[in-house]
Structure 1
Amino acid sequence: MKERIITALVMAAIFIPVVYTGGWLLGSIIAILAIIGLSELFKMKGNNILSIEGVISIVALMGFIFSAELRDILPQNFNSDAWIHLAAIILLIQTVFSKNNFSFDDAAVSILGIIYIGFGFKSLLETREIGLELLILVLITIWTTDICAYLFGRKIGKHKLAPNISPNKTIEGSVAGTVSAILVAGIYLYFIEVAGATTWTLVLMALLSMAGQFGDLVESAFKRYYNTKDSGNIFPGHGGVLDRFDSILFVFPILNLVGLV
């Protein structure tokens, strides 16, 4: 627990100023996190990120996330979708020349990983461009949910939320996490004006709180399927990038899909 708290404080001390600064600094950190996250997914699958398939996937991931920044040097129709389509074609062709070392399943995991990780981090960057206040609101909602679900779950949790996927999570903790997130988001909105905020914003924060928990469960499902305790060990006490950013990778695309980003 002590190691987990210390790591969280160090991460916050680094990540919050980076988010506040935005621009190239945030983009650089996101690029590093995205590549590490993809490498963790490759490792869980039993593949090497330092391979032809891995390099193709990294290039496609970077193109997907930073497609807007690359539009001045690439054809106009070469958008984020084009990077996914191109990666799919090349990776599928690679299954022909890999001598069965890279299969259709491997290609599918690579392509889905690019979408999963890329869409999440791309949406985070786009949210920052819209406004720091909105980004902080969403991050506060995610972090409050995680912290309160954990604390209340340990204290009053009795009914398992998804025992076959994540035995320690409880329904009571999940509900407490969402309720706490709504309260904290309400306090934040009372004092801070957020661009695009409406009377439905708290309802959206409740949905994002639940979505973040699903993101956590999805990551747990990955690890259980691949029989892995943590996706990585870059964050002591927290695991890897996919462990720490699992909620974020689910929540920010939803902001995009509902039209706030």
Structure 2
Amino acid sequence: MKTRVITAVVALIIFVPLLIMGGAPLLILTLIMGVIAMSEILRMKHRFFVSAEAWVSFIGVVALILPNSFWQDVPLIKSAHIFFYILAFLLLLHTVFSRNHFNFDDAGTLTLAMLYIGTGFHYFFQADTKGLATVMFGMLIVWLTDSGAYMVGRAIGKHKLAPKISPNKTWEGSIGGSLVAVIVVASLYTIFNWLPAYNFIELLLFAIVLSIAGQLGDLIESGLKRHFNVKDSGNILPGHGGILDRFDSMLVVMPLMSILGMLI
């Protein structure tokens, strides 16, 4: 527990100022986190970080995280998605010339991982460009849901939510976590007029949808670890695991905020 607390404090000391600063410093941090998250997938796949498929994967994640404005001046390509397609094609081509050391399952896993991680962190950075209050809304929903689910689940949790994927999660905890997030968001809106661009009902609906999405993101990463038979995605954060362990919910919540129109 001591290690976990120390890691959290150090991480917040580094993370919060960069979040407030935004711009290039936050983009650099986001790119680093994206590359580390991709390395965790490669590690679970038992792939060398210096292999051809690893370099393609790292480049793909960076390309997808970069803001859309970056691609406006790139000749011919003009879009991260075109560049991503080229990289995905290279992975498919690699299956032909790798002498069976790299197959279609490997290509599919790494392509999906690039899309999952790159898109998630892209919209994390995009949310911050819309203002600190916007990105904090998404992060707060995730933190409140996670903390609320843990406390409620420990207190009254009986019915397993997904026993084969994450045996400690319960329906009671899941519902309780979402209620905590909604109640806190309602209170912040009422007391401080938080995010006044939206009315009360809109903000509550966003909170409910994002809270559920965050829990699904958590379960997706739990399923990933189950598939590869690992306890944590990595060990870069002592007591917390890897980047994917800490940002699994964010990688789903942030793109969904864009779909809901919050990042336009």
Give 1:9 deviation, angstroms.
2.8
CA distance in 1, matches of 2:197, 2:117: 25
Aligned residues: 261
Say whether residues 1:8 and 2:39 are aligned partners: no
Q: 2:122 — aligned with what?
A: 122
Give 1:89 deviation, angstroms.
0.8
TM-score where L is the length of structure 2: 0.94
Q: 1:247 — aligned with what?
A: 249
Q: 1:204 — aligned with what?
A: 206
Does structure 1 retain, via aligned residues, the 8 Å contact 2:48–2:54?
Answer: yes
For structure 1, list consecutive stretches of 5 or more residues without a partner in the other structure.
none
For structure 2, list consecutive stretches of 5 or more residues without a partner in the other structure.
none
After superposition, where does 1:193-232 map in structure 2 within 5 Å? Answer: 193-194=194-195, 196-198=197-199, 199-232=201-234
Give 1:73 deviation, angstroms.
3.7
Bigger mean CA deviation after superposition, 182-191 or 17-26: 182-191
SS in 2 for 1:167: strand
Q: 1:82 — aligned with what?
A: 82
CA distance in 1, matches of 2:35, 2:122: 13
SS in 2 for 1:168: strand
CA distance in 1, matches of 2:204, 2:53: 42
Runs of 4+ more than 4 Å apart:
none
CA distance in 1, matches of 2:197, 2:77: 29
Q: 1:134 — aligned with what?
A: 134
Does structure 2 retain, via aligned residues, the 8 Å contact 1:120–1:252?
Answer: yes
Give 1:11 deviation, angstroms.
2.1
CA distance in 2, matches of 1:11, 1:188: 25
Structure 1 vs Structure 2: percent identity of aligned residues?
A: 41
Q: 2:258 — aligned with what?
A: 256
Give 1:223 deviation, angstroms.
0.5
Say whether residues 1:63 and 2:43 are aligned partners: no
Bigger mean CA deviation after superposition, 189-198 or 28-37: 189-198
CA distance in 1, matches of 2:34, 2:196: 27
CA distance in 2, matches of 1:74, 1:9: 40
Does structure 1 retain, via aligned residues, the 8 Å contact 2:67–2:126?
Answer: no
CA distance in 1, matches of 2:123, 2:84: 16
CA distance in 2, matches of 1:161, 1:12: 30
Does structure 2 retain, via aligned residues, the 8 Å contact 1:95–1:103?
Answer: yes
SS in 1 for 2:249: helix
